[in-house]
Amino acid sequence: MVMSMSWFIPENEFDIFVKNLSKKRRLFVPVKENSIVRFVEFKDGIKPYFEKQATSSAKNTIFPQTETLFRFEYKKDPKDLKKFSVEISETIEAPETVVLGTRPCDARGFLVFDKVFLNPKHPDIYYQNRREKSLFITMTCTDPEPTCFCKAVGSSPADSLGSDILITKVKDGFFVETITEKGEKLLNELNLKDGDAYSKEAEKVKDEANEKLESPFDTKGLSTDILKLFNTNFWEKELAHCLSCGVCTYLCPTCYCFNITDETSDSEGERIRTWDACMFFHFTLEGSGHNPRPTKAERFRNRVGHKFSYFPDRYDGMIACCGCGRCIKSCPASVDIRKVIIDLKEAANESA
């Protein structure tokens, strides 16, 4: 943490700010396409869209849906065709990256990733490299939506944790403050106006944003409640309308599960890592053909259990949900994770 320093960008200079950010680095911004908003790489002609929370999270910016871990090629020995060797080439790609327009929930999501992928005993070098070279410029959420519940999971609409820079919209422009040294270094390069004069106004905006949101449930005792219901039919009935698709997990800022497969053609191929979803049958299918989570009830139980019980139990109480509400808004069957939690607390209470 550094002493917070502040800058100001007048409304009509924001486009220049965006352009300058993209000069030396790869820049991701939220863009509206049809009725949805997603983070894509900025280039000339792209119009960023900051008005509403993006439909998908920003996790693709440092955790791409498909990444090549290495390439391989089988080579035959021309002198003895029965013999062959395998050549492996590394493929780590980690360009300097700035992500502009995340919301506090997006930035918080990566803190969950960090626990897993930056574990000091066995850090994931692919993630680590990209994480170190990435910087998040978050925007204070001045209009949290009714589906937002970040307060219930320990965050808030103006939370700066996980971000490098926080931007707050004030009347005449944008108040910009540094949260980390990385963020400060970047802003020093950009030659912005001093923001001191706007700090009071920005604080007021942030306070108001924080007050706008209520907490739909209390996470106290939740981990135990989930375990209490583990072997009951609660899940089957509560999630009967779940389609067991991957919408919730793939839009989620904290869902980090992946698959590793070899995709080969002829004598060469690559080992890839791709997003995976615990809602899929194949996620836990074992080589023997046995599947410990054969139906969607066990799969959804795992999704809730992982986020609100197993993960916090393992990582100092950190809840693996940032309360962004994307899984609620985009669910084709209107599954509402808040309702699942409220209902499960009630069911656990009744069974006690």
Give the binding site for other proteins (CB under 8 A): 33-36, 38, 52, 55-56, 65-66, 145-147, 237, 240-241, 243-247, 249-251, 259, 261, 263, 272, 274-275, 277, 280-282, 328, 330, 332-336, 338-339
Residue type, 315: Y
123/246 with CB nearer other proteins: 246
- Cβ-based nearer residue to other proteins, 38 or 193: 38
Question: 115-130 as b/e, with b when 16 or more CB fall inside 10 Å?
Answer: bbbeeeeeebebbebb
**Rounded least distance, CB 169 to other proteins, Å:** 17
Three-state secondary-structure class, residue 224: helix
Pick 7 or 275: Cβ nearer other proteins? 275
Q: How far is the CB of 165 from other proteins (least distance, A)?
A: 26
The residue assigned the tokens 């802003």 is: 187
Cβ proximity to other proteins: between 241 and 314 the closer is: 241
Q: How many CB atoms lie within 10 A of CB 273?
A: 19
Least separation in angstroms between CB 19 and other proteins: 24
231 versus 265: smaller Cβ distance to other proteins: 265
CB atoms within 10 A of CB 107: 25
DSSP 8-state symbol, 76 = E
**Closer of 56 and 254 to other proteins (Cβ):** 56
Reading the block at residue 131, the tokens are 């994480």
State the nearest-atom distance from the C-beta of 188 to other proteins, in Å: 36
Rounded CA-CA distance 136/349 in Å is 41
Q: CB of residue 186 vs other proteins: minimum separation in angstroms?
A: 29
State the number of CA atoms in the 13 A half-sphere of 183 facing the CB: 25
Nearer to other proteins, 267 or 274 (CB): 274
CB 334, min distance to other proteins, A = 4
Element containing residue 77 per DSSP (H, E): strand 66-77
Contact 258, 275 (CB under 8 A): yes
For residue 97, what are the CA distances in angstroms to 24, 93, 195, 351? 9, 11, 25, 50
Report the alpha-carbon distance of residue 322 to residue 248 in Å, rounded. Answer: 13
- Nearest distance from C-beta of residue 296 to other proteins, angstroms: 8
Residue 214 · residue 156 · CB < 8 Å: no
